[in-house]
Amino acid sequence: MDGINDIHEHERSNERSPLLHSSTSSSVHSITKQKQQLQKRTPLPKLQIAIVLLLQICEPICSQSIYPYINELVGTLNIVKGDERRIGYYAGLIESLFFLTEAITVFQWSRTSDRIGRKPVMMIGMIGTMLSMLCFGLSRTFVTLVISRCLCGLLNGNIGVIKSTMGELTDNTNRADAFALMPAVWALGATMGPLLGGTLTRPADNFPGVFTSPFWKEYPYFLPCVATSSVVLVIFVITGFLFEETAPIIHDKIPKSRDSSVSSTSTSSTLDSEPRYSSTRVSFRGLLTFPVVISIANYVTLAFLNISTNALLPLFFHMPINMGGLDLDPVTIGYVMGIYGFGTGMFQVFFFAKIVRRWGIRRVFIMSMATFIPVFMMFPFISLLAKSYGVFWGVWVVVFAMLFILFFMDTAYGCIFMYVTESAPNRRSLGATNGLAQTTVSTARAIGPALSTSLYSFSIERQILGGYGVYAVLTTLAGLALLLAVQLPVQLWNKQDGDGEETLRDHSD
């Protein structure tokens, strides 16, 4: 308290001595920063934050549970016609369809949540996820697999709404702490999903004493779908009874007055400076400010490279050694993918906040994006080792070294989530901002798996760079992504002060 009183006294002395104002501007900015540092952190609403994190875990559990067996499943379909080199084309298409259909509807779901509230939209999303997973497990043709994945994407707008909800539950004193948990929770889902998918697939073969019914022979991939849907059902019940709405229904219209609307050229965020629920809604054009565009652009490149990596990993593990893979079975693939998810989660929990405080948000984001380059270069190295010596201990050392690099890569998500949230023109437009972000990101995630796995198959079929052309393309794209990452500001956007001078807030302090 004494420190704050001294700061106020110093400010009052500057007001009494206007001639000193210009010469002390730098000290005033220093004092402002001290006040922000002395500001007490608002306690996080733990129960509500926990429920939001549970909601977030649904998507990675369900979407990534198919990775251990999707390539094997596609190989059993008539469309492949016994040619394993074609698996990458169809597996990538199935993985991409969820994100493609999600991109079509996620912005509308997010804007709807601005009008009717977050909770109803999230409940609908969970119902869609459960239905689509059950349909996926019962699918026996390529067409029904496609329909079930499209159904999941069309009914699921949760990922954008969840980020909006997290922004509403926090303020500028505790937002970094809350958003640091999101990549860790996603990683937990990315651990549980592959483990369930890999362990529970083909139960009649793996657990013959328990699953004796012919049903499990006919539908060998239904059990992991039931298991993941059951997890979503439990979270659905918890949300229905315990979650409190964060965006009460407000009936308003976009103001037609020029003075009352938010300028599309504004480059500042008023997320924490406005009343909790501002009555001003922003038009679509009003969302396209520089902070929003540059933040979303970096989010898109991160998501594209990450989903491309996640799609390549199980395909790389599944394919025969002579086709550039490691020829692993679904159970082993599930364990490896599970280790990747678990390691990522633990890394985020124990090191994310420390790394950001030490290096700053922008620097950590750039370093995380740079990790894609060595990761893509390690794929052909691992393949060459396996072709020369088989899958021996040296191959596993390099595989786990690559996974460790990916642990650090995932810290980029916590950083970019804060950039996107702080870029919102105001709190009332938070849902629309995250909806726009998720629409573009879902589009990138729709392209990533199909492109990367198809490039893999194309490189093998045409022997592009000895079958490793896919990695040359992705390494080049990763280098270009770094050029975009350096365009982010060192500090996060905040409101404009009374003089119209833009101020910035650095969460790494």
pLDDT score of 338: 81
Handedness of CA 420, 423, 428, 429 (dihedral sign): negative
Q: How confident is the model at residue 78 (pLDDT cuts 50, 70, 90)?
A: confident
Give the pLDDT score at 168: 83
Pick from 22-36, 180-194, 255-269: least confident: 255-269
- In this model, does residue 54 exceed pLDDT 70? yes
pLDDT at 286: 67
Residue 267 is predicted with a pLDDT of 38
Q: Torsion over CA of 45, 182, 127 and 337, rounded to 10 degrees?
A: -150
Higher pLDDT, 155 or 129: 129
d(CA 134, CA 159): 20
Q: Does 6 reside within a domain?
A: no
Taking the C-alpha atoms of residue 483 and residue 298, their distance in angstroms, rounded to an integer, is 10
Percent share of the chain, pLDDT over 70 = 78
Question: For tokens 């016994």, what's the residue?
Answer: 82
The total domain count for the chain is 1
- Above 70 in pLDDT, residue 497? no
Average pLDDT over residues 259-278: 41
pLDDT of 76 strictly over 90? no
- pLDDT at residue 399 in the model: 93
Binned at pLDDT 50, 70 and 90, residue 75 comes out as confident
The residue count of the chain comes to: 509
141 occurs within a structural domain? yes
On whether the CB atoms of residues 372 and 302 are closer than 8 A, the answer is no
- Structural domain containing residue 430: 46-505
Between helix 118-137 and helix 87-116 the angle, nearest 10°, is: 160
Cβ contact 160:430 at 8 Å: no
Token readout for 207 is 């657990």
The alpha carbon of residue 121 and the mean position of all alpha carbons in its chain are separated, in whole angstroms, by 19
Query: Cα–Cα distances in Å, from 356 out to 267, 335, 486, 507?
Result: 24, 30, 16, 8
User: Token digits for 119?
Assistant: 């909770």
DSSP one-letter string for 342-364: HHHHHHIIIIIHHHHHHH-HHHH
CATH number for the domain that contains residue 318: 1.20.1250.20
Cα(215)–Cα(223) distance, integer angstroms: 11
Task: Give the per-residue pLDDT at 444.
Answer: 84
312, 379 Cβ separation under 8 angstroms: yes
Predicted pLDDT at 258: 38
**Least confident residue range of 19-28, 186-195, 440-449:** 19-28
Kindly tell me if the per-residue pLDDT of 5 is higher than 60.
Answer: no
Long-range contacts at 170-176 (CB < 8 A, ≥ 24 apart): 170/42, 170/44, 171/42, 171/272, 172/271, 172/272, 172/494, 172/505, 173/39, 173/40, 173/41, 173/42, 174/41, 174/42, 174/43, 174/44, 175/418, 175/421, 175/422, 175/507, 176/353, 176/356, 176/418, 176/507
Amino acid at 109: W
Q: Is the pLDDT of residue 264 over 60?
A: no
Predicted confidence (pLDDT) at residue 19 exceeds the cutoff of 70: no
Alpha-carbon span 506 to 494, nearest angstrom: 9
Residue scoring higher pLDDT (251 or 457): 457
Q: Could you give the CA distance from residue 170 to residue 148 in angstroms, rounded to a whole number?
A: 35
Mean pLDDT within 199-213 = 88
Task: Report yes or no on 4 lying in a domain.
Answer: no
pLDDT (average), residues 247-261: 47
Mean pLDDT value across residues 15-36: 45
Q: Which tokens belong to 82?
A: 């016994």
E strand spans, 268-414: none
> Which residues contact residue 275 at a Cβ distance below 8 angstroms, ignoring those fewer than 6 apart?
427
What is the CB neighbour count within 10 angstroms for residue 209? 5
The answer to whether position 19 is within a domain reads: no
Averaged confidence pLDDT in the chain: 78
Residue among 314, 309, 281, 328 nearest 371 (CA): 309
Contact indicator for 436, 292 with CB cutoff of 8 Å: yes
C-alpha to C-alpha distance for 419 and 291, rounded to whole angstroms: 8
* Residue 38: inside a domain: no
pLDDT greater than 70 at residue 288: yes
Quick check: 396 pLDDT over 90?
yes
Answer yes or no: is 340 within a domain.
Answer: yes
Q: Are 77 and 90 in contact (CB under 8 A)?
A: yes
Residue given tokens 């499943």 in the structure block = 73
pLDDT of amino acid 493: 63
Residue 226 has pLDDT above 60, yes or no: yes
DSSP letter for 251, please: -
Report the greatest alpha carbon distance in the chain. Answer: 90
pLDDT over threshold 50, residue 34: no
Residue 34 inside a domain? The answer is no
Mean pLDDT, residues 471-491? 91
Answer whether residue 8 is part of any domain. no
Share of the chain above pLDDT 90, in %: 22
Across 72-99, average pLDDT: 74
Pairing of strands 492-496, 502-505: antiparallel
Report the pLDDT value the prediction gives residue 281, as an integer from 0 to 100.
62
CB 224 within 8 A of CB 197: yes
Give 244's contacts (C-beta < 8 A, 6+ positions apart).
48
Q: Which two tokens stand for residue 222?
A: 């239904």
Tell me the pLDDT tens digit for each residue of 315-373. 899 889 988 889 988 888 888 888 887 888 788 778 877 888 788 889 999 999 999 99
Most confident of 28-42, 412-426, 489-503: 412-426
Q: Who wins on pLDDT, 468 or 162? A: 468
Q: What per-residue confidence (pLDDT) applies to 427?
A: 66
What is the pLDDT at residue 429? Answer: 67
The stretch 101-123 carries a mean pLDDT of 83
Q: Which residues pair with 492 in a beta bridge?
A: 505
Beta-carbon contacts of 5 under 8 Å, excluding residues fewer than 6 positions away, are none
**Residue 436: what pLDDT?**
81
Average pLDDT estimate for 263-269: 38
How far, in Å, CA of 293 to CA of 287, rounded? 8
pLDDT digit string, tens, across residues 136-187? 988 888 888 888 888 887 877 677 788 788 878 887 777 767 777 777 787 7
- Residue 494's pLDDT band, with cuts at 50, 70 and 90, is low
Helix 330-347 / helix 46-64 crossing angle, nearest 10 deg? 150
**How far apart (Å, rounded) are the C-alpha atoms in residues 405 and 36?**
34
